[in-house]
Chains A and B, each alone.
Chain A
Amino acid sequence: SAVISQKPSRDICQRGTSLTIQCQVDSQVTMMFWYRQQPGQSLTLIATANQGSEATYESGFVIDKFPISRPNLTFSTLTVSNMSPEDSSIYLCSVEDREGPLGYGYTFGSGTRLTVV
């Protein structure tokens, strides 16, 4: 199944600054997904990133706050801009994994634990 490397694994940032999270996959994938997981909560889809086109954002998330790059089929970045304490969450990237043992589903990275102070 796909192997995802996500960096950084954690960071503590000052409010008003920005953090860029990187997601590298060991195989080419059409779609990459970015999720937010607030403390003790479920996973909320931020956006879907396709190579060669602008990301598609879910309701409540905007490009100015969460700009996404997808320069090729194995890499994507998510930037959390102008951070406030409310942005403290785990951010996860994910890909569709048709080569996994179950033949479908998402594979997730290990996440980036962001704390904004």
Chain B
Amino acid sequence: GENVEQHPSTLSVQEGDSAVIKCTYSDSASNYFPWYKQELGKGPQLIIDIRSNVGEKKDQRIAVTLNKTAKHFSLHITETQPEDSAVYFCAASLTINDMRFGAGTRLTVKP
């Protein structure tokens, strides 16, 4: 089955700096790669996703890149703000019921 590895486990940045979180996956057949943000006491919330036929996707301050050959994808957050502080999870799937999540990255944005 799919195995997703995520790095780093914790990340601390100054407000205004950029943050990058990286994930690798094992199953080359996976074709959908979402990113979730989980704030304290809440369920994960989908913030951006990318499909295997696209190399990069942007939405305001966040972007995701995908390298299918190397089987890795990354989340980029620019101009970080304190409200970006949360745990971020990457995931990979081929079908709707086989999504596998990375271990999570705790991002802290210091004012």
Query: Which residues in A have some Cβ–Cβ distance to B below 8 Å?
Result: 4, 6, 31, 33, 41-45, 48, 56, 92, 94, 96-97, 100, 102, 104-111, 113
Query: Which residues in B have some Cβ–Cβ distance to A below 8 Å?
Result: 32, 34, 36, 41-46, 48-49, 89, 96-97, 99, 101-104
Question: What's the nearest-Cβ distance from chain B to residue A48, in Å?
Answer: 5
Question: Is there an interface contact between B96 and A108, defined as CB atoms closer than 8 Å?
Answer: no
Q: What is the predominant secondary structure among interface residues of chain A facing chain B?
A: strand
Question: Is there an interface contact between A108 and B43, defined as CB atoms closer than 8 Å?
Answer: yes
Question: What's the nearest-Cβ distance from chain A to residue B20, in Å?
Answer: 19
With A43-B89, A43-B101, A102-B49: A96-B43 Cβ-Cβ less than 8 Å: no
Question: Is there an interface contact between B44 and A96, defined as CB atoms closer than 8 Å?
Answer: no
Question: A-B pairs with the 3 shortest C-beta distances?
Answer: A108-B43, A105-B46, A43-B101
**Tally of contacts, chain A with chain B, CB under 8 A:** 51
With A31-B96, A31-B97, A105-B49: A42-B43 Cβ-Cβ less than 8 Å: no
Question: Is there an interface contact between B43 and A110, defined as CB atoms closer than 8 Å?
Answer: yes
* Assembled-state Cα–Cα distance A104/B54 (Å): 15
With A31-B96, A104-B32: A110-B42 Cβ-Cβ less than 8 Å: yes
Question: What's the nearest-Cβ distance from chain B to residue A56, in Å?
Answer: 8
Across-interface contacts of B96 in A (CB, < 8 A): 31, 96
